[in-house]
Structure 1
Amino acid sequence: MSVRSLAALRRTDANTADYRRVTMFLHFLSLWPHIFPVVMCCPRSVMHRNLQDRNGTSIRFLAVGDWGGLPHPPYSTPVQQATARGMGRAAQDMGADFVLALGDNFYFTGVDSVEDPRFQETFERVFTARSLHVPWYVIAGNHDHHGDVRAQIAYSRVSERWHFPELYYELKFGVPGGPGPTLTVLMVDTVLLCGSSDDFADGGPRGPADAAGAGRQLRWLRRRMEASRADFLLVAGHYPVWSVAEHGPTRCLLEELRPLLVKHRATAYLSGHDHNLQYLEESGVGYVVSGAGNFVENSTRHWAHVPPGALRFFSGQSSPLGGFAHVEVTQERMVITFIQARGSSLYRASLPPRGVNLFAAP
């Protein structure tokens, strides 16, 4: 509507109601650019996925962290290349409906923009197996936060398999075979929660840069865990809760996250950050460390800093050239298999639904 038409409405008493409607509409349009970002910035609470594997009986996925290549040619490491090949074989032979990417997606300073060539050089051209062209659900690590994390989120609109809707979000899956058990995965940003870390110093988070943002995420996580009725409840983040390796346990997560995992009987917590494979059990919760996607470290300097008897498995030898975890969820249990890049199964743990009190023996 033109300014002249609007003035005509003002001069005509009979059109007062029309004038008010038009001005309210124009006012709304002026506010829309301010409203829209608020709507878009909120974390996605629920993402429903219906999966049907070849047997129609389970959900299967891979979990890999610290897989982010190099910032200079050839933009990948031998460990990353071997891990990518091993993941492709495992996805083909054992099945994989999706991949959980547990942070440090691009070493050493993340990406600069959604057009950053690292998306091609370190991701698309490395994980090329057809079996890996499934959804990749992504969270950020400390090295990703050194760059533009929002660019990684924006890449979700470019790649069909890259899914990173917000810094933290929830995934829900129904186990194939009927209306029975469900799987919920809460993808959290441990850097937002605990702060960044310097791997070349002590490696420990130094406290959140945004205390208000950390508080919002923690409240969101608490609400989602309290509300969850899933038979299998997983939380996935970059920093480990428990670890015997170079970085060791994360104090912030021991204080803020571990009590929630125990209180709400989470099935397991999955993480990376330490560049090896570990499995621990403590207070009824399984702890998976899968951080051998790009580098491998054999350090066990924090062996005495985890509860006695909690560590069930550790692998940090460089000769297998990395590794990852394969997870299968059925009506009866969740089975975690640690696999070295060359294909050998290293260790297997079996976890029951949340309604069962005792863990089955691995």
Structure 2
Amino acid sequence: MNTMFFKALALGGFTASFALAESVSFIAIGDMGTGGDKQYKVANAIENLCQQKACDFAIGLGDNIYEAGVDSSRDDSFQSKFEQPYAGLAFPFFMSLGNHDNSHFASGGGLDNFKGEYQVAYHYRDDRSSDKWRMPNRYYHFTAPLGSEEPLIDFLALDSNPIAGGLDWDYQYWRKPYTKKHKEWINRTLSTAEAPWKIAFAHHPLRSNGLHGNAGFYDGLAGSGKDWQNLIKETICDKVDVLITGHDHDLQWLKPSRDCGKTFFIVSGAGGKTRSLTNPDRNPAWWQVGDSLGFFRIQIESNQFTGEAYVVDAESGQWELVYSHAIMKP
């Protein structure tokens, strides 16, 4: 493996817990569940990397199973698009839902949120081939190190699709009441979160230089994703350290914006598909790349957050570290 990297330094309903450690290391990967060769190449790169560096778990950023989710908790796609591609990885994946996970159609309209419930139900099957898939609810909270009574990080897995996506036919996923319920849960969870680091993750970004763009103007449509934008600004901005998302099939590490306080943004949606950056100047970035498979590895130790971006060649499977950035809490 040829390794090239650049370093930068800047100052700046459900609970699961996990063993006391001096640091926490995890993989951030999204838009991966194709079951195809590209997903396997990224999975192999993660396996090789995690033989060299610590990896405690992964967070899945949605579009877990393309193109239209699953039809039951026993759907064969759980095997072909998750268990088999990641068979070489022993750590858990904490998953969130994307628009393709909640859709009947390959277009990923996200209009059938009941389908996401099957992915929650898979978490509770006791006859799975592994226990890697973790999704105890559509949105949930866990802490790390996994099992510690003095956690270093609070994680909030959010459910963006009923809020950022289209209008669902089922009243329990109607945007306004669902947003209200989700907002109450986020506020309640953060009010008792005592870890020094706080990380939220979901599928839809607040900020993105990729095709879908920023919430409130997704895909060039004024008002698209506006409720998600408002929810994040009211509950997450300046209250968590980083919002990590997928949806755009590229890799981005974006700087904090004036209207979101200290919170910075990572987009890691290149776990199985690729796409160009359509407007790399839309939001200020520390680093970004399109047209490449890849993922982020993040390590938090004491008051330092270190992110590493890895790209994976779609033909050869060769992988390399292309960017590393450290952020210190004051």
Q: Same fold (TM over 0.5)?
A: yes
Shift of 1:60: 0.9
For residues 123 and 59 of structure 1, what CA distance do their matches in structure 2 show?
23
What CA distance in whole angstroms lies between the structure 1 residues aligned with 2:84 and 2:42?
13
**What amino acid is the match of 1:190?**
S
Shift of 1:331: 1.4
**Percent of residue pairs identical:** 25
TM-score by length of 1: 0.72
* Counterpart code for 1:334: F
**1:215 partnered with 2:174:** no
Deviation at 1:215, TM superposition (A): 1.2
Say whether residues 1:133 and 2:90 are aligned partners: yes
Aligned pairs (5 A) from 1:310-329: 310-318=284-292, 322-329=293-300
Q: Which amino acid aligns with 1:229?
A: E
- Could you say what secondary structure the match of 1:235 adopts? strand
State the AA in 2 paired with 1:338: A
Distance, in Å, in 1 between the alignment partners of 2:166 and 2:272 is: 20
Match of 1:143 in 2: 100
What TM-score do you get using the length of structure 2 for normalisation? 0.79
User: Are the structure 2 counterparts of residues 349 and 181 from structure 1 closer, same or farther at C-alpha, using a change threshold of 3 Å?
Assistant: farther
CA offset at residue 260 of structure 1? 3.0
In terms of fraction of residues, the more strand-rich structure is: 2
Match of 2:18 among 49, 56, 61: 49
Larger Rg: 1
In structure 2, the partner of 1:155 is 122
Judged with a 3 Å threshold, the aligned counterparts in structure 2 of structure 1 residues 113 and 166 are, in CA distance, closer, same or farther, namely same
Cα deviations across residues 188-218 of structure 1 (Å, max 9, x unaligned)? 0011232249xxxxxxxxxx63421221011
Q: Alpha carbon RMSD of aligned pairs, Å?
A: 2.1
Q: Distance in 1 between matches of 2:25 and 2:304?
A: 12
Any unmatched runs of 5+ in structure 2? 1-12, 105-114, 168-172, 217-225, 313-317
Corresponding pairs, count: 280
Partner AA of 2:74 in structure 1: E
Distance 2:51 2:267 in 1: 23
How far did 1:225 drift? 2.2
Larger RCO (alpha carbons 8 Å, 6+ apart): 2
Which structure has greater helix proportion? 1
Q: Is it true that 1:247 corresponds to 2:212 in the alignment?
A: yes
Which deviates more, 254-263 or 339-348?
Answer: 254-263
Which whole-Å CA distance do the structure 1 matches of 2:56 and 2:103 have between them? 30
The code of the aligned residue for 2:246 comes to G
* 1:156-202 C-alpha deviation (Å, 9 max, x unpaired): 123411111000000112489x97662011000011232249xxxxx
Q: In the alignment, residue 106 of structure 1 is paired with which amino acid? A: I
Aligned pairs for 1:71-110 (under 5 A) are 76-110=35-69
User: Which of the numbers 275, 288, 291 marks the counterpart of 2:266?
Assistant: 288
What does 1:26-65 correspond to in 2, within 5 Å? 43-44=13-14, 46-51=15-20, 56-65=21-30
How far does residue 135 in structure 1 lie from its aligned partner after superposition?
1.1
Q: Match of 1:11?
A: none
Preserved contact between residue 183 and residue 235 of structure 2 (Cα < 8 Å): no
Once the two structures are superposed, the pairs formed by residues 301-316 of structure 1 within 5 Å of their partners are: 301=279, 303-306=280-283, 310-316=284-290
